[in-house]
C-alpha cells in the first residue's frame, strides 16, 4: 500500500461532477430498459454485467480481500443501494426524468445533516433555513404534477423517487466512509456484486433472461455505472461529503436534456422553479471545502 498525494478540492469536485454525468446517462439507458423489460430484470442484469467490468479491473490490480470494516461498509451500502435503485427506477418509469432528478436533489441536503450526525462534520444554522427552501421546492414540483394531471401512477412514482432520495442521502455518507478504507475498484466491484446477489434472491419469481436485442444497452449501462463509481470513489476519498454533495445538482441538467432527446419529455415550469429552490437551498447550505486525509491508496 502506497501513500497518495492529496488532490485539490476543485479537482475532486470536477471528477465527482463527471461521475454524476455518467450516472445520468446510465439513468436514461436504464429507463429505456425498464420500460422494455421491466425494472427488476433491467437492474438485475445491469448489475450482473457490472460485476464483469469492475471485477476485471479489480482483479487486474492484484487485490487483497477487504478487512472487516470495509466488508461491513460494502454490505451496508449494497443493501441501501438495492432499495434505493428499485425505488428510483420504479418511479423513473412513471415520471419524466427531469422531474425525478429534481426531486432527488433533496438528498445532498439530507446528507449534510447525516454528515454532521455520522461523520461529525460541522453544520451551520443556515442549513436549517436552506432545508425549508428546498422543501418548498419539493412542494412546488408536486403541485406542478397535480396541475399537469399526470395521473395516480405519476404521483406514486414521485413518492418512490423521494423515498429513494432519502436512501441516497445515506448512500452519500457511505461513499465517503468507504473511500477511507477501500479503493474505487474494490468499491465498484463489491457494489455490483452485493446488489446483484440481493436482487437475485427474487429471481425465481421475477427473473428472466432478456432478449439478445437488449444486451448492448445492458452492457452499456453497466460500463457507465462502473466508470461513474470509480470516479465518485476517487473524489470522495479526497474531499468532504458535504463539499462534494452539490455535484448532484448537475444531474438535473443532464436528465432534462436526455429526457427530451431520448423520451421526448418536456420539463414543466413548476419543475424548473422547484429545482431552482431545491438547488438554491442546498448551495446555500454548502460548506467550505477541506482536503480529506490521505489514509489509503485509491488512485485508478
Helix, strand, or coil here: 93?
A: coil
The distance from CA 180 to its chain's CA centroid, rounded to whole angstroms, is 19
Q: Mean pLDDT check: name the lowest of 42-51, 113-122, 229-238.
A: 113-122
Asked if residue 89 lies in contact with residue 31, where contact means CB atoms within 8 angstroms, the answer is yes
Quick: pLDDT tens for 54-74.
888 888 887 788 889 999 999
Per-residue confidence (pLDDT) for residue 280, from 0 to 100: 77
- Rounded mean pLDDT of the chain? 82
Whether the predicted pLDDT of 172 surpasses 70: yes
The rounded distance, in Å, linking the Cα atoms of 188 and 179 is 11
Per-residue confidence (pLDDT) for residue 90, from 0 to 100: 94
Quick: pLDDT tens for 83-133.
999 999 999 988 888 888 888 877 767 777 777 777 666 666 666 677 677
Q: Mean pLDDT check: name the lowest of 33-47, 177-191, 273-287.
A: 273-287
What is the reported pTM?
0.78
Per-residue confidence (pLDDT) for residue 105, from 0 to 100: 75
How many Å from the N-terminal Cα to the C-terminal Cα in the chain?
A: 13
The rounded distance, in Å, linking the Cα atoms of 92 and 88 is 6
The rounded distance, in Å, linking the Cα atoms of 259 and 48 is 26
Q: Mean pLDDT check: name the lowest of 34-38, 53-57, 145-149, 169-173.
A: 145-149
Cell 460548506 appears where? 287
Amino acid at each position: 500500500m502506497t501513500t497518495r498525494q492529496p488532490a485539490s478540492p476543485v479537482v475532486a469536485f470536477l471528477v465527482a461532477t463527471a461521475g454524476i454525468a455518467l450516472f445520468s446517462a446510465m439513468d436514461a439507458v436504464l429507463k429505456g430498459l425498464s420500460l422494455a423489460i421491466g425494472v427488476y430484470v433491467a437492474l438485475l442484469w445491469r448489475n450482473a454485467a457490472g460485476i464483469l467490468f469492475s471485477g476485471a479491473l479489480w482483479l487486474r490490480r492484484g487485490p487483497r480481500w477487504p478487512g472487516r470494516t470495509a466488508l461491513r461498509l460494502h454490505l451496508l451500502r449494497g443493501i441501501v443501494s438495492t432499495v434505493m435503485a428499485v425505488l428510483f427506477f420504479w418511479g423513473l418509469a412513471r415520471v419524466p426524468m427531469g422531474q425525478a432528478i429534481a426531486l432527488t436533489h433533496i438528498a445532498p441536503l439530507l446528507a449534510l445533516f447525516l454528515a454532521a450526525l455520522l461523520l461529525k462534520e460541522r453544520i451551520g444554522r443556515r442549513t436549517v433555513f436552506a432545508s425549508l427552501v428546498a422543501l418548498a421546492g419539493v412542494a412546488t414540483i408536486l403541485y406542478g404534477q397535480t396541475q399537469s394531471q399526470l395521473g395516480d401512477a405519476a404521483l406514486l412514482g414521485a413518492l418512490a423517487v423521494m423515498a429513494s432520495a432519502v436512501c441516497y442521502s445515506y448512500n452519500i455518507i457511505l461513499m465517503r466512509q468507504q473511500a477511507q478504507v477501500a479503493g474505487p475498484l474494490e468499491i465498484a466491484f463489491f457494489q455490483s456484486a452485493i446488489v446483484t446477489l440481493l436482487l437475485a434472491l427474487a429471481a425465481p419469481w421475477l427473473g428472466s433472461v432478456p432478449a439478445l436485442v437488449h444486451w448492448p444497452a445492458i452492457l452499456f449501462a453497466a460500463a457507465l455505472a462502473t466508470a461513474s463509481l470509480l470516479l465518485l470513489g476517487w473524489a470522495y476519498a479526497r474531499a468532504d461529503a458535504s463539499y462534494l454533495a452539490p455535484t448532484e445538482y448537475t444531474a438535473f441538467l443532464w436528465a432534462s436534456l436526455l429526457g427530451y432527446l431520448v423520451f421526448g419529455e418536456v420539463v414543466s415550469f413548476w419543475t424548473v422553479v422547484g429545482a431552482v429552490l431545491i438547488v438554491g437551498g442546498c448551495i446555500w447550505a454548502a460548506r467550505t471545502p477541506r482536503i480529506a486525509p490521505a489514509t489509503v491508496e485509491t488512485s485508478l
